[in-house]
Amino acid sequence: MALPEKPPLDSPSPTVTPHVSLLALYRTFFWVGMFSFGGGLSSWLHREIVDIRGWMTDDQFFSGYSLTHVLPGVNSSNLAVYIGQHLRGAAGAVVALLALLTGPFFVVIAAALAYRYLLQVPGFQAAVAGIAAAAIGLLVRLGFVAARRATTGVLPVLIMLAIFIAVGFLRWPLVPVVLVMAPISVALAWPRKPKADA
């Protein structure tokens, strides 16, 4: 089987990537970092970068999102570096990562100092549980958006279900499941040249 001449990482965008100022990039990532509680950061970044600001297309975002999950390190930090680099090169990558980490750095230090006092505040634990539930909702939304874009047939749905059952219900280790299913998924999704009519 011949490999495609140019395997596309991103689908061609209908518009040129907009020029985003470093200040706008910093401000966006700072606020996302400050207010993304409980792990819903990737879905919030998708909403801010793709849906609201239109700085990237869905295909560009999800290409980076997929890449950041196979690289070592924290997924949200990797995603910030990817988005910043895509929009403004190396300077954008540095600005996006610093912005993402600046607010939480100080908030976590302050919260660690005040945590035992916060536990005594009525309703604090309920508020934390509510924030975690909202973050789970954001992640579920992002999962549906990604699944809708990835499922162009029955086979991708079957692969997603197989991984979900293997890891979620059967409690099989994640790494072996991914090592087996990822090559199968890539092989099924790999672009093929149309056969020439005989």
Of the pLDDT bands very low, low, confident and very high (cuts 50, 70, 90), residue 26 is: very high
Res 22 pLDDT > 90: yes
pTM of the model: 0.60
Q: What average pLDDT does range 149-176 have in this prediction?
A: 83
Q: What average pLDDT does range 191-195 have in this prediction?
A: 69
- Mean pLDDT lowest for which of 3-7, 98-102, 116-120, 177-181? 3-7
pLDDT at 75: 86
Of the pLDDT bands very low, low, confident and very high (cuts 50, 70, 90), residue 2 is: very low
- In contact, 40 and 134? CB cutoff 8 Å: yes
Report the 10 Å Cβ neighbour count for 33. 25
Average pLDDT value for the chain: 82
Report the 10 Å Cβ neighbour count for 159. 18
